[in-house]
Amino acid sequence: MPTTIKNATKKDEKLNKIFILSYQDKIDELPLTPTEKDFVLSQRLGLKKDLVVVNHYLDNTYVVFVNEVDKTNKRLEFCRRQGAKICSNANTNGVKSLFLTIHEVLVDESMALAEGIALANYQFIKYRKDKDEKLNSLDSILLSGKGYDKSALNLLNIRIEATLWARDLVNEPLNKLNAEDLADAIGTKVRQAGGKAEVFNKKKIQALKMGGLLAVNRGSIDPPTFTILEWKPENAVNEKPIVLVGKGVVYDTGGLSLKPSSAMDTMKCDMAGAAAVAATIYAVTRAELPLHVVALVPATDNRPDGNAYVPGDIISMFDGTSVEVLNTDAEGRMILADALSYAKKFKPELVCNFATLTGSAVRAIGSQGIVAMEVMANSAFKQVKKSGKVVHERLVKFPMWESYRDQLKSEIADLKNIGGPEAGAITAGKFLEHFTDYPFIHFDIAGPAFIDKRDGYRIQGGTGVGVRLMFDFLQKRAEKK
């Protein structure tokens, strides 16, 4: 269960307190003994510590110092990371609840710190025999003080819950989550929140002639799915929907263009784009944002079975485009192309595509950011980039120059499914662009979607990247008439 952030009541036993101070604040204001205040002061001034823990035997007091001269986004990320440190200390000491005292001048920083604690407290241990013993002790964060409201707290809890659900989906292995399982899981979750969900089975996908999705699925014994999730409230402020598209390759061997064994170890994460868009529309639905949003999730695994598609095949896509396959490991763009073409039916205001698409993106910027590209969506991109800075899911914009399209020219078909040895993330974006005729933003999340070691509140494994980014962007979009 996600760690709950809620209002403290008078009945709560106020142990394990957290205080956030600016460097200008006086330590004298803390409810500590003179000796403890001297200790905090020596740790802050003498050892330059930003987080000081005062041990009271039965409980701890955590003092976090925030530098007011730093820019807001930097302060927020600093607080999330301090929250991760507090979370670790709390679980080590068997703490069940933390009490965070909010000062009106540091509300945003306090909420960010609570978010960092909750995200850092995530575990995926459901398949461990000793899961009860390994379960973190911390289960709640209690807030007291002035300056925050119930609405903001509710939205923060929704954002956290959705992000952790996305992590769960990404961390599930193929034998527990194939394409049909994924469609059932995301459809059920969104329906329970009040949204709509429709799942196309293989027969329907064949009738629609979604050639890219069917080609990738040919090597699998499990059928593909195509899921449509929708939230359309009566008070929606947008006349045309915002459509989210997510790559749902539940496992990727590379097909006949087989990956090395070591490169397959984490390929259960190749549906992180699907998890991101499903969790985002779930959050939008739970929050009842006045915004019409649709999510499209094409899903299959990619295996090298006897009838698998092969390099040299010509595939006819949903929109009639012929594609020469030169690498079966470039499968994500094949299934996404059908979804992006299908998105035209909605006459969208904007389409945002999320995919663990290329190793090129990982090599370019690692796991510290998201490679992004846009077509006819410069204004929206600027807003998403601002949201990226707020939640620290930062965007690095790559160009979409027309000259990159030359690498995708084929002598025998309309397109090749890969470009040359250079600019692989960009040529993948250019391939996807071919299937769009609307404002389009593509997010290649291959780097940050799944990490091999903990990074603050981003735990090892699935990170849920993209959910907090898009939820913040959509919240702000919902405020515009």
Q: Which residues are catalytic?
A: 259, 333
Residue 133 has a CB neighbour count (10 Å cut-off) of: 8
Strands 440-444 and 370-375: antiparallel
At 302, which helix (H) or strand (E)?
Answer: strand 293-302
Residue 69 has a CB neighbour count (10 Å cut-off) of: 9
For residue 268, give the 3-state DSSP assignment.
Answer: helix
At 22, which helix (H) or strand (E)?
Answer: strand 17-22
How far is residue 406's CA from residue 425's CA, in Å, rounded to a whole number? 15
How far is residue 91's CA from residue 380's CA, in Å, rounded to a whole number? 41
Tokens 């013993």 correspond to what residue? Answer: 133
Residue of 258, 309, 266 whose CA lies nearest to 460? 266
What radius of gyration do the chain's Cα atoms show?
24
How far is residue 206's CA from residue 194's CA, in Å, rounded to a whole number? 29
Question: For 17, what's the count of Cα atoms within 13 Å in the CB-facing half-sphere?
Answer: 16
Residues 6+ apart with CB under 8 A from 476: 383, 387
Q: Are 431 and 337 in contact (CB under 8 A)?
A: yes
How far is residue 111's CA from residue 116's CA, in Å, rounded to a whole number? 9
DSSP letter string over 354-412?
Answer: EE---HHHHHHHTTSSEEEEEES-HHHHHHHHHHHHHHT--EEEPP--GGGGGGG--SS
Q: Are 449 and 356 in contact (CB under 8 A)?
A: yes
Residues 6+ apart with CB under 8 A from 120: 83, 84, 87, 88, 456, 457, 459
Q: Are 212 and 241 in contact (CB under 8 A)?
A: no
Distance of CA 474 to the CA centre of its chain: 14
Distance of CA 39 to the CA centre of its chain: 40
| The 3-state secondary structure of 428-453, one letter per residue | HHHHHHCCCCCCEEEEECCCCCEECC
- Counting other chains too, the contacts that 400-407 makes at CB distance below 8 Å and 24 or more residues apart are 400/373, 400/374, 400/375, 400/426, 400/429, 400/430, 400/433, 404/430, 405/430, 405/434
Length of the chain measured in residues: 481
